Amino acid sequence: MVKNENLIIYLSSSLRTALFFEKESKTFKTHTHRLYNIIQQLLHEENDDITIDINNNYLFINNERVEISLEIMGVYRILVNDLSLRGIGKIIFRQGLLEEELKNFAFIVGRSKPLYTNTFDGIFEKIREEGISNITIGELEEFESVKEAKETSLRKEAIKNFLNGIFYLKESAYNTILGTSVKLGQAKKIIRGFIDLITEDEDFIIGLTTIKNIGSYTLNHSVNVSILSIAMGLKLNLQRKDVIELGIAGLFHDIGKIEIPETIIDKPGPLTPTEYSEIKKHPHLGVEKLILIKHMQNIPAFAIRGILEHHIDYDGSGYPPLNIETPSLFARIIRVVDTYDAMTTPRVYQDARSPFEAIQFISQNKEKKFDPKIVDRFIELVGIFPPGTIVEIDTGEVGIVYNRNTVILIGKQSKKINVEKLGRKIQRVLTPEEAGLDPSSVFIALGLKS
């Protein structure tokens, strides 16, 4: 019984560790080594293969339902969840299992993206490619329904988190104006939510940034910048506490604008030099606000530096005039994602550009305005045609890019079209006006699905 529990604990911890550590890291190897020892003992005792099955959210080991103690109920649920969301319903460990095979297996499964229709096939294929002959996996029969249920709940959670971000910022802005405290606790909870959600369903969360001007431009834009910054932080393998700070920097990067009259912020025409010089004060006004608020005890140092320097170009130009060679990492990340989100948002003084155009602009200004490495990682993150890009595909239909592999079409059964293995060709990029379509409406509809 204890061995079964330990099998669950270490199978779960090995899969989770694979997410954050490299295959050859000591931490990952330690967890898989423990797992290997437990499996070896079980193989020896049973003198037969060890089969793990998932059925109706329960785990079975060699056809016997695992009776789980309350102590490890949490780990049990995480493991069932992790396997189910990857479409894995069965794992067979055979006699003769090698430690290296187990390590490669845990890494492949742990690193695979959950909730994709082809995740299971991908894992299956990689196991074959790696020559893992003593572990076999079987597909979860109810995967499609599990996937759909999970996706729906994740998307609902994402919408909740997104809107909580906006409301939290609104409240913080009021507090800032009143000079009362900005509590980072709530911000951290929201950002933690985003991190967890991005880990499970990155595409949808990034897609949510197509929502613009809810509450006000600055509030909505700040949440978008926070989401995109967090996704970048995860892509760059930053430590969790640093990703949280990066998320905080994103949320508060424009907080200084509350000190600038709205007549300037939302001015329909070009700004006068005086007005522009007012706008240019917002990074340092924002940081001042944050650090001068009495109760902001543990000042997140990277975050405030990121906020202060987020309008400084990669070559040192821009504002405020700080005479620095290169802005800090957080500032360089926010510089890219801030530009991207601002360009794709309609404003009183300009139409929104398509995500594709924004990517083009950012790419064209590598080295001067933007850190080329950050730009490359950002393009890796959102793709050439980022989520929300409206495209016409070669069937003549108009769709909205959901992720780099799929577009969402409206009002037509996909299965009838999904005949070509390589997928459809993108013909051209459309503006929302041309398409008569607001890309965010697709993501909102998916998120509000009951």
Contact region with another protein (CB under 8 A), list: 45-53, 104-112, 199-207, 232-240:
232-240
Q: Which of residues 385-404 bind another protein (CB under 8 A)?
A: 385, 391, 393, 397, 399, 401-402, 404
Near another protein by CB under 8 A: residue from 94, 150, 183, 347: 183
**Where would I find the H helices in 47-142?**
73-84, 99-111, 119-129
For position 449 contacting another protein by CB under 8 A, the verdict is yes
Contact region with another protein (CB under 8 A), list: 50-58, 121-129, 163-171, 222-230:
163-171
Query: Which DSSP symbol is given to 350?
Result: B
Q: Which of residues 268-327 bind another protein (CB under 8 A)?
A: 284, 287-288, 291-292, 295, 297-299, 301-302, 304-305, 308, 320-322
Q: Which of residues 88-147 bind another protein (CB under 8 A)?
A: none
Contact region with another protein (CB under 8 A), list: 25-33, 119-127, 223-231, 259-267:
25-33
Residue with smaller CB distance to another protein, 255 or 308: 308
Which residue is listed with tokens 């609104």? 170
Q: Which of residues 28-67 bind another protein (CB under 8 A)?
A: 30-31, 34
For position 180 contacting another protein by CB under 8 A, the verdict is no
Strand segments, DSSP code E, in 101-219 are 135-139
CB of 282 to another protein, least distance (A): 12
Near another protein by CB under 8 A: residue from 96, 179, 316, 372: 372
40-68 in b/e form (b: 16+ CB < 10 A) is bebbeeeeebbbbbbeeeebebeeeebeb
For position 1 contacting another protein by CB under 8 A, the verdict is no
Residue 281 and residue 272 in contact, taking contact as beta carbons nearer than 8 Å: no
Tokens linked to 34: 């423990």
Edge-to-edge strands, sheet with 135-139? 64-65, 58-61, 50-55, 88-93, 135-139
> CA-based diameter of the chain, in Å?
82
Distance CA 255, CA 259 (A): 8
Contact region with another protein (CB under 8 A), list: 84-92, 105-113, 139-147, 421-429:
421-429
For position 381 contacting another protein by CB under 8 A, the verdict is no
Q: Which residue in 9, 1, 126, 131 sits closest to 61, CA to CA?
A: 1
Near another protein by CB under 8 A: residue from 199, 365, 427, 431: 427
For position 244 contacting another protein by CB under 8 A, the verdict is yes
Contact region with another protein (CB under 8 A), list: 46-54, 86-94, 105-113, 437-445:
437-445
For position 74 contacting another protein by CB under 8 A, the verdict is yes
For 352-381, the DSSP string reads PPPHHHHHHHHHHTBTTTB-HHHHHHHHHH
Distance CA 52, CA 46 (A): 14
CB of 266 to another protein, least distance (A): 20
For position 153 contacting another protein by CB under 8 A, the verdict is no
For position 159 contacting another protein by CB under 8 A, the verdict is yes
Residue 352 and residue 340 in contact, taking contact as beta carbons nearer than 8 Å: no
Residue with smaller CB distance to another protein, 84 or 389: 389
Query: Which DSSP symbol is given to 268?
Result: S
